[in-house]
Amino acid sequence: MRRLALPALFLFVLVIAPRAQQSSAPAWSANLSDIRRVATLIPGRKPLRINVLKFAESHRTKNFSVKGEPATPSVQARTVFQVVYPDGYVMVDAGMDEPMHKQIGRGAEGEPYFAEQAQQVDNALRGARSIVFTHEHGDHITGVIRTPYLAELVPKTVLTRAQVNTLETRPQFPDLKITEEQAARYHIIDYDKYMAFAPGWTLIKAAGHTPGSQMMFITLDSGREYLLIGDAAWHMDGVRKVAGKDAPWIVEDTAAVTDQLRWLNGLLTTEKNLVIVASHDDDEHKELIAKKLLGGRLE
Ligand SMILES: [Zn+2]
C-alpha cells in the first residue's frame, strides 16, 4: 500500500494539481503584505483620522444588497470620506447633486437628500488637496462632473484611466459622460495592481463592481489600518457571508466581485487591526462612529 501511495500522490501533484490550479485561477486577487509594503513607499506623516459624511439615503430592502437575505427594510447611506493628514486632507468620493440623487433613486419615493450635508460635501471638496474615487458611479463622482465649482475641482481630481474610460464610453447615466477633451483636464493616473498614493495609502485595483473600481488601504499615524472597499459590497453582511448583490439594475463582473468578497472575508478573521469600510453600509458607519473608529463629520 505504502509503495503505491507515494507515486499516486506525485501523480496527483504533477498532473491533477496544475490543472486544478489553472481552472480555479482567480478573476481577482490581492496580497495584504504587498499592499502594506506599498503603503510605506511615500515618506511623510501618515493620516491622523478618517471621517465619513452621509448626504443622502437610498431605501432598498436588504435582499438587493446581499443575495439570499430577506426583503427587510434597509438604509443605504450615500457617503463621502475625508482622510485627514497633519497638513491637509484628501476626499474619497465627491457625492452628487439632488437631480442625480433622484435619477439614481429611479423614482423611489421619499429617499432623503440632506441639502445641508451636501453643502458640507461641496465645501470639503473645495478645501481638499485632492479628490480620489472608489469608482465611477453617479453617487460617488457627480460632485466633480456636474458642479458649480468645476474649474476649481478638476485640476485636483484624480481619476484612474479605467474610470475615465467608463465616463467617456459607457457612463452609468448620460449626464456623466465626458469628452476626451474634458477628461484631459482631470489628473489621470494609471497603474497595474497597486499604487502608492500618499503616505500610508495604497490604491488597490479592484475592477468588479465597475471597471474603474479601486479599494483604498490606509494606515493611520496611530497604526490602525483601514480598507475602504467602495461598493465591492453594499452591506458588510455581503462580506461576512460572501454573498454578492442581487440587484438587477447593476451589471458587475460577478467572478471578480466574488473573489473580492472572499478575500475581504478572510481578512475579517485574520486582521483584527484592520477596519473594513463599505461605502453604503449605514449600520456599519453608525457603529464605527460610536467606537470612534470613524469621525462622523467633515472638518
Ligand atoms: Zn455607490
pLDDT of residue 107: 65
Domain boundaries, the chain: 29-290
Expressed in angstroms and rounded, the spacing between residue 182 Cα and the centre of ligand 1 is: 23
pLDDT of residue 15: 47
The per-residue pLDDT for range 229-238, each reduced to its tens digit, is: 999 999 999 9
> How long, in residues, is the chain?
299
Which residues make beta-bridge pairs with 77?
Answer: 57
Please name the residues in contact with 246: beta carbons below 8 A apart, sequence gap of 6 or more: 63, 64, 66, 67, 68
pLDDT of residue 105: 87
The per-residue pLDDT for range 95-131, each reduced to its tens digit, is: 999 999 999 987 677 899 999 999 999 999 999 999 9
Q: Model-level pTM?
A: 0.91
Task: Domain 29-290: state its class.
Answer: alpha beta
Expressed in angstroms and rounded, the spacing between residue 199 Cα and the centre of ligand 1 is: 26
Q: What residues of the chain score a pLDDT lower than 70?
A: 1-23, 107
CA distance 141 to 212: 12
pLDDT of residue 16: 47
Helix (H, G, I), strand (E, B) or coil at 1: coil
pLDDT of residue 6: 47
Q: What angle do CA 194, 197, 200 make, to 5 degrees?
A: 95
Expressed in angstroms and rounded, the spacing between residue 104 Cα and the centre of ligand 1 is: 10
Question: Which residues hold their Cβ within 5 A of ligand 1, which is an ion?
Answer: 137, 139, 231
